[in-house]
Amino acid sequence: MKNRIRLFTSVGVFAAVFIILLVSFTPGSVSVGGDIAVMRVYESANDDASRIIISYDNFKHKEIDLWGYRQSYTDEWLDNADSIAATLNRFKSNGYEIISTSASGKISSYNDLQLTTFILEKK
């Protein structure tokens, strides 16, 4: 019985110390109204689904239509790449920098989709 009490006490003390350490390394406050923008690029074989969606920190957003692509039409790929580059260059000229990117994709017999996300911060 004493061994169980010691075990539970040890686990409790360890958990308390761990939680205190974990909390001490988290940011104290998160600023609201910062200069962050999220740009998501959806490219799909479906013409209606391909677009750039930009979300700003003031709950406004902007959509830019892109071409749906097909394997045989490389011009559409190039047009989309030009639109993405032009949008990123507009952010750069307005003082934004890319602070994070991620990409994912899904290919199926029905449809394929590529999603690229850019997180931008105004410097």
Q: Is 0.95 surpassed by the pTM of this model?
A: no
- Backbone region of residue 101 per phi and psi (left: phi > 0; alpha: psi in -120 to 50; beta: other values): beta
Q: Please give the Cα distance from 52 to 82 (Å, whole number).
A: 12
Q: Is residue 54 part of a domain?
A: yes
Q: Is residue 41 part of a domain?
A: yes
Q: Is residue 48 part of a domain?
A: yes
Q: Is residue 99 part of a domain?
A: yes
Which pLDDT belongs to residue 26? 44
Q: Is residue 17 part of a domain?
A: no
- The dihedral through the CA atoms of 68, 101, 61, 85 has a sign that is negative
Which pLDDT belongs to residue 18? 56
Q: Is residue 7 part of a domain?
A: no
Tell me the pLDDT of the chain (123 aa) as tens digits.
666 666 556 655 555 555 665 555 544 444 445 689 999 998 887 666 789 999 988 888 999 988 876 655 567 778 888 999 999 999 999 999 999 999 888 766 566 778 899 999 998
Structural domain total, the chain:
1
Which residues form the domain of 93? Answer: 36-122
Which pLDDT belongs to residue 110? 60
Which pLDDT belongs to residue 30? 41
Which pLDDT belongs to residue 28? 43
Which pLDDT belongs to residue 113? 79
Q: Is residue 89 part of a domain?
A: yes
Q: Is residue 22 part of a domain?
A: no
